[in-house]
Amino acid sequence: MTMIDGNNKLWNARTAGIVPHDNIYYGKCLIGGALACGSTHLFITPLDVAKCNMQVDPGKYKNLFGTVRTLINKEGSRGIWKGWEPTILGYSPQGALKFGLYEVFKDAISNFVGYDYAQKYRGLIWLGGAAAAEFCGCLALCPMEMVKVKVQTSPPGTFPTGLIPATIAMNKNRKTTRFPYGSIVPLWSRQIPYTVTKFYFFEKTVQMFYTHVFTEPKTNYSKTTQLGITFAAGYLAGILCAIVSHPGDSIVSLMAKPEYKNKSMKEITKDFGAWNLCTKGLGPRIIMIGTIAALQWWIYDTFKTAMGMGTTGGK
């Protein structure tokens, strides 16, 4: 705890808000994060399949809807739902750690620096908390993300599509696939910028809404209004997330191709081209990530509201 200058009151970030941030609070945040990320990533699996194929074979797959049609024509409706099992198994624990630990790290950093610095450098605390939380989240995500990408980008008949056979195949050939953590560095390069952008600009946008548009105290507005602000702020943050994290996402997808096995990020970038890494599949990713980010924040804050914890951010 830290003493506020000019005051005799002790300040603690965990107890400073309307709802105390005890271990039960953090546990509920973990559950809310798992629900938010697992469900949304499962929902947009067809977009993810299309996006990954556009990244690894841009000459063949040129646009979102054409890619979806091609995949359905080749593999049937199952073709656009490939990888749904590793998707939900990877993104549920990742979401739990990302959202839950973000709350933990924010409070811990705030208490470490003290009240004055916590108020003055709030934005930096958001950035640090988000980066640390996503670093941990990627450790839970990486194995299933590698399975998912391999399933979604392999030509039909060349790799198992079921969760267990695919995981066994990845592990059996781990010298080639580098399973389970061969993609952890490019995954961090994708996810940490993504999450830092997502959390920082979400918090900043919510703060601006409640400062310049909805100027009464936050508690004066209905839960529907608060959740609407959550959704709008999430979508705006998601668009920026998609742009800054797309090069890393492209590299993660390309590493699943046989011709890029054992190649470094630098070698892949040189071969595929920096411009292609930044632009191929970006349109679908903006739609996908904008929607995901908005829905994740909405689901997360809806869960928090139902649990009596209130929405995230604002005054």
* Structure confidence by residue, pLDDT tens digits, 101-158: 999 999 999 999 999 999 999 999 999 999 999 999 999 999 999 999 999 988 888 9
How many residues appear in the chain? 315
pLDDT above 70 for 2: no
**Domain 17-306 in CATH 1.50.40.10:** yes
Q: What is d(CA 198, CA 59) in angstroms, rounded to the nearest whole number? A: 31
Mean pLDDT (the chain, rounded): 90
Q: What is d(CA 44, CA 229) in angstroms, rounded to the nearest whole number? A: 23
Q: What is d(CA 78, CA 46) in angstroms, rounded to the nearest whole number? A: 9
Q: How do the domains of the chain map onto residue ranges?
A: 17-306
Q: What is d(CA 55, CA 86) in angstroms, rounded to the nearest whole number? A: 20
* Structure confidence by residue, pLDDT tens digits, 54-92: 877 888 888 888 888 998 998 888 889 999 999 999 999
What pLDDT, on a 0 to 100 scale, did the predictor assign at position 291?
Answer: 85
Q: What is d(CA 234, CA 290) in angstroms, rounded to the nearest whole number? A: 7
